[in-house]
Amino acid sequence: MSTFTPEDFGFTFLKDGTSVQDLIDQRIKALSASDAKDAFYVADLGEVMRRYLLWVREIPRVTPFYAVKCNESRPIVKTLAALGTGFDCASKYEMHLITSLGVDPSRIIYANTIKQPSHLKYAAAHGIQKMTFDNEAELVKIAQCCENAKLVLRIAVDDKYSMFKMSTKFGAKLETCPALLKRAQELGLDVIGVSFHVGSYCMNPVAYTEAIANAKGIFDLAATIGYKMTFLDIGGGYPGFDIPNVLNFKKFAVEINLALDKYFPVSTGVQIISEPGRFFPSTAYTLAVNIIGKRVDIKKSSDDKDDGAKEKIVNYFVNDGIHSSFRLVIFHDTYVLPSAQKKSKPGECVYPSTIYGQTCDGHDLIVEEYNLPDIQVGKWMIFYHMGAYSITTATNFNGFPKPKTKFVMAPVLWQQLQKISAAKGDQAQLQAICLNADLDADCPVMPGPTRKWRAKGREGK
161-205 residue pLDDT tens: 777 778 888 999 999 999 999 999 999 999 999 999 988 777 788
Examine the pLDDT at 340 and tell me if it is beyond 80. Answer: no
What number is the average pLDDT over the span 223-252?
Answer: 88
What number is the average pLDDT over the span 337-348?
Answer: 63
The larger pLDDT score, comparing residue 27 to residue 168, is at 27
CATH 3.20.20.10 intervals, the chain:
72-276
Q: Beta strands 380-383 and 365-373: pairing type?
A: unpaired
Task: Quote the CATH superfamily of domain 10-43+283-301+308-407.
Answer: Lyase, Ornithine Decarboxylase; Chain A, domain 1 (2.40.37.10)
Examine the pLDDT at 345 and tell me if it is beyond 80. Answer: no
Mean of all residue pLDDT scores within the chain: 87
pLDDT of residue 243: 73
pLDDT band at 52 (very low <50, low <70, confident <90, very high): very high
The larger pLDDT score, comparing residue 52 to residue 457, is at 52
56-65, 271-280, 324-333 — which is least confidently predicted? Answer: 324-333
Three-state secondary structure string covering the chain: CCCCCHHHHCCEECCCCCCHHHHHHHHHHHCCCCCCCCCEEEEEHHHHHHHHHHHHHHCCCEEEEEEHHHCCCHHHHHHHHHHCCEEEECCHHHHHHHHCCCCCHHHEEECCCCCCHHHHHHHHHCCCCEEEECCHHHHHHHHHHCCCCEEEEEECCCCCCEEECCCCCCCECHHHHHHHHHHHHHCCCEEEEEECCCCEEECCCHHHHHHHHHHHHHHHHHHHHCCCCCEEECCCCCCCCCECCCECHHHHHHHHHHHHHHHCCHHHCCEEEECCCCCCCHHHEEEEEEEEEEEEEEEECCCCCCCCCEEEEEEEEECCCCCCCCCCHHHHCCCCCEEECCCCCCCCCEEEEEEECCCCCCCCEEEEEEEEECCCCCCEEEECCCCCCCHHHCCCHHHCCCCEEEEEECHHHHHHHHHHHHHCCCHHHHHHHHHHCCCCCCCCCCCCCCCCCCCCCCCCC
Instruction: Show which residues are catalytic.
Output: 360
120-129, 251-260, 440-449 — which is least confidently predicted? Answer: 440-449
What number is the average pLDDT over the span 366-395?
Answer: 90
Sequence-separated (6 or more) residues with CB below 8 Å from residue 299:
310, 311, 313
We find that the CATH architecture of domain 72-276 is Alpha-Beta Barrel (3.20)
pLDDT band at 305 (very low <50, low <70, confident <90, very high): low
285-298 residue pLDDT tens: 999 999 999 999 98
pLDDT of residue 273: 98
pLDDT of residue 168: 84
pLDDT of residue 456: 30
What number is the average pLDDT over the span 292-307?
Answer: 74
CB-count exposure of residue 79 (10 Å: 0-12, 13-18, 19+) = buried
CATH 2.40.37.10 intervals, the chain:
10-43+283-301+308-407
What's the rounded Cα separation, in Å, for the pair 292 and 180?
A: 56
pLDDT of residue 315: 96
The model's pTM is 0.90
The larger pLDDT score, comparing residue 405 to residue 36, is at 405
* 77, 101 Cβ separation under 8 angstroms: yes
